[in-house]
Amino acid sequence: MADLKNLEKRAFETLLGMGGGYVLDFSNRTFGEFVLDCTGMSIYEPRYGTSGGSKANLLRAFWKHEPNQTVGKLLAELIAYAQESNATLPEPLLLEACRRTAERLQADGLVVGCEAFV
């Protein structure tokens, strides 16, 4: 389970346009392919569909079920996709806050240098 704080979730909800059940401009097929390419996992597994089958609900369930590093990797890729595909760039402070959150999640559990073993 990823330890996303409420404000972090809200920031991603805004950045990814999740309010209406969507995630960016993805169709069901392209969203499934994107998540699979990023994580090696199917977003359409039954455990993610317990709160409904919208792309936004599937992503929220993914946040609940997967570890920090996996969620952080997917969120970082979604940020990159949002920047590349969106004609209107996200607000810079929101983008930076989301980027920091994705980096924090990806760094969770990583061992940096040998000094960690001393």
What are 65-112's pLDDT values in tens digits?
Answer: 999 999 999 999 999 999 888 756 678 899 999 999 999 999 986 555
| Pair of tokens at residue 91 | 């607000």
Domain boundaries, the chain: 6-117
Residue 11 pLDDT = 96
114 contacts 31 by C-beta, under 8 angstroms:
no
For residue range 36-66, what is the model confidence (pLDDT) as tens digits?
Answer: 999 999 999 999 998 889 999 999 999 999 9
Q: What is the pLDDT of residue 110?
A: 59
The pair of three-digit structure tokens given for residue 68, joined into one six-digit string: 């920090």
